[in-house]
Chains A and B, each alone.
Chain A
Amino acid sequence: MAKLLGLRCRECEAEYELQATHVCEMCFGPLDVVFDYAALKKKVTRDRIAQGPASMWRYRDLLPIEDATPVVTLGEGFTPLVKADRLGAELGLRNLYLKNDSMNPTNSFKDRVVSVAISWARANGFETIACASTGNLANAVAAYAARAGLECFVFIPVDLEPAKIVSISVFDPNVVAVRGNYDEVNRLCSQLVESTPWAFCNINIRPFYAEGSKTLTFETVEQLGWKLPDEIIIPIASGCQFVRHRQAVRELMELGLVREDRVPAFTGAQALGCAPVYNAFNSDTPERVLPVRPDTIARSIAIGNPSDGMYVNRIALETGGVVEAVSEEEIVAAMRLLARTEGIFTETAGGVTIGVLAKLARAGRWKGDEVVVAYVTGHGLKTADVLAKVDGHARRVEIEPTLKSFREKVNI
């Protein structure tokens, strides 16, 4: 029996059949996939999940892909949940965990959403996959389109960093470099959706794409022994994944997979150089998120007009979380802190998350025994140039190939 009932508008609750569309025709609100939870409750158990593959597809029952549909997978998900004792000691947290999503096939969280999006698109007859991207998404879309044997169009601003273009181009997509800034790429793609028969992962098939995010929280809870953490720190770009993590906890409760009735605090992290959600959170009108012009090294989360910003603030307030932001210097310091204490090299967006974690911990947000989880969503090699510019070789010494020189220069 089908587990998907259709699409529903988050604002006016108008209902639609399952199709490639993302905006309510009535009120222009966002559309979400509706699951048949009554049917899923009879079927989904911890045992059934444990018998699934060691990937995010072990939660297939809670993803918008029907059982008979073949999925496009590179083994994404089920990434390590690391107990961060050394970082925790620096921050006064005895139960700090890091969900290391840089261990995904293309080294970012995006593999989860793209695997779902392309599986859905292929099953629904689309022959071309497209996306507008600042890097990580394009990387994932190009890789999964190659895996699926589908035509792929990636739209990027003409000035995207050469290293990112290389890691996208190797998968042989059609790269369309738009002479314009991110806003203009976004606008162009919004218009192309109306006039092409393509599946734009983050636009017209967004309701399906977004569902993949939930697996990050499903895994975290399973890896904690089916216990909910006290607080989760999540980077905010459009806010899309933040909203799905809240949904994931709601589904775990609805299906009886967790016992607790206590919802974790959901806390968002932004860079001060692009902090529209943080600005609104700290204003008298947290649901009125005003656009900003991004100017930050954390480019993978630099979204000036986030589609789900108001929902992020609603969830943060509802669950007792906060939205905090960090400076460029704090981002770099946090990347180094994480690498130095835990051996994990994260990109600038991860620096934002760890930076916010550190800032809140040092401000005394936690007593010390709370279970806090931070989502590390991308690998450091994606933005290595940032560190190279700052202090790539801070502890480097140069010596002659002699013991004398070694003893003189290296203080051991």
Chain B
Amino acid sequence: MGRRRLKLIFGPAMVKEPVIYQLGKQFEIVTNIRRADVTRDQGWVLLEITGEPEELDRGVEYLESRGVKVEPAEGDLVE
């Protein structure tokens, strides 16, 4: 089993879509929201996902295909 900490960033087009529900329903992935800041037209969610590594990869691809920006929860640390 693998675990990833993600930051999902939603724009106006996605903010009303239940993508985290879909992620758990369409894939063998357990989702766990830790923190979030969502307004009417944008927002972010810090999400832990657990599952087999290949399944997690597929889940992330799915989120990106739906137009959600997916980043590591800790932000970009490359310097």
A binds B: yes
Closest-CB distance, B68 to chain A (whole angstroms): 12
How many Å from the CB of B61 to the closest CB on chain A?
13
Say whether A238 contacts B76, CB under 8 Å: yes
A305 & B76 in contact (Cβ 8 Å cutoff):
yes
Please give, as numbers and ranges, the residues of chain A lying within 8 Å of B3 by CB-CB distance: 194
Minimum CB–CB distance from B7 to chain A (whole Å) comes to 8
Q: Say yes or no: A303 contacts B46, CB within 8 Å.
A: no
- Decide: A291 and B9 in contact? CB cutoff 8 A: yes
Cβ-defined contact, B74 with A30, below 8 A? yes
Question: How far is the CB of B75 from the nearest CB of chain A, in Å?
Answer: 3
How many residue pairs link A and B with beta carbons under 8 A? The number is 83
- Is there contact, CB below 8 Å, between A307 and B77? yes
Q: Are B76 and A186 in contact (CB under 8 A)?
A: yes
For residue B58, CB closer than 8 A to chain A, the reply is no
Chain B residues whose CB sits within 8 angstroms of the CB of A100 once the complex forms = none
Q: Which residue of A lies closest to B47 (CB)?
A: A28
- Tell me if A187 and B72 are in contact (CB < 8 A): yes
Distance between Cα atoms of A75 and B4 in the complex (Å) = 38
Q: Which of B2, B72, B75 is close to A306, meaning CB atoms less than 8 Å apart?
A: B75
Q: How far is the CB of B54 from chain A (nearest CB, A)?
A: 13
Known: A11-B35, A28-B46, A288-B42. A22 touches B76 (CB 8 A): no
**Which 6 residue pairs are nearest across A and B when measured between Cβ atoms?**
A307-B75, A305-B76, A190-B72, A186-B78, A28-B46, A28-B73
Q: Is the CB of B78 within 8 A of A132?
A: yes
Whether the pair B34, A182 counts as a contact (CB closer than 8 A) is no
Q: How far is the CB of A22 from chain B (nearest CB, A)?
A: 6
Binary CB contact string for chain B from 38 to 79 against chain A (1 if under 8 A, 0 otherwise): 000010001010000000000000000000010111111111
Q: How far is the CB of B6 from chain A (nearest CB, A)?
A: 9
Known A23-B5, A187-B72: A133·B42 in contact at CB below 8 Å: no
**Interface 1/0s, chain B 1-35, versus A by CB < 8 A?**
01111010100000000000000000000000011
Partner of A22, one of B2, B34, B74: B74
B71, A28: Cβ atoms closer than 8 Å: no
Chain B contacts to A: CB under 8 angstroms:
2-5, 7, 9, 34-35, 37, 42, 46, 48, 69, 71-79
| Given A23-B74, A186-B72, residue A28 in contact with residue B35 (CB < 8 A) | yes
Q: How far is the CA of A238 from the CA of B3 in the complex (A)?
A: 24
Given known contacts A290-B9, A291-B71, A183 and B76 CB-to-CB distance under 8 angstroms: yes
Report the Cα distance A395→B73, complex, angstroms.
50
Q: For A305, list chain B residues within 8 Å (CB).
A: 7, 71, 75-76
Contacts of B35 in A (CB 8 A): 11, 27-29
Residue of B nearest to A241 (CB): B79
In the complex, what residues of A have CB within 8 A of residue B34's CB? 26-28
Interface residues on A, range: 35 or more
Q: Mark A305-319, 1 if CB is under 8 A from B, else 0.
A: 111110000000000
A159-186 vs B: 1/0 string, CB under 8 Å?
Answer: 0000000000000000000000011011
Whether, in the assembled complex, A322 has its beta carbon less than 8 Å from a beta carbon of chain B, the answer is no
Specify which chain B residues have a CB less than 8 angstroms from the CB of A306 in the assembled complex: 75-76
Contacts beyond the supplied A23-B5, A28-B48: 6 A-B pairs with Cβ under 8 Å: A26-B34, A29-B35, A132-B77, A133-B79, A194-B3, A238-B77
| Shortest distance between the CB of A311 and any CB in chain B (Å) | 11
Known: A28-B35, A28-B46, A291-B69. A304 touches B76 (CB 8 A): yes
B-chain residues with CB within 8 Å of residue A189 when the two chains form the complex = 77-78
Asked whether A134 and B78 contact (CB < 8 A) given A187-B72, A191-B4, the answer is yes
- 14 intermolecular pairs with C-beta atoms under 8 Å apart: A26-B34, A27-B35, A183-B76, A191-B4, A206-B77, A238-B77, A288-B42, A303-B76, A305-B75, A305-B76, A306-B76, A307-B75, A308-B75, A309-B75
In-complex Cβ contact of B77 among A26, A203, A291 (8 A): A203
Question: Do A307 and B42 touch across chains, with their CB atoms under 8 A apart?
Answer: no
1/0 per residue, CB under 8 A from B, across A249-261: the answer is 0000000000000
* Nearest residue, chain A, Cβ from B75: A307
Of listed B4, B35, B42, residue having the most chain A CB within 10 A:
B35
The interface centre, meaning the residue of B71, B74, B75, B77 with most chain A CB atoms within 10 A of its CB, is: B77
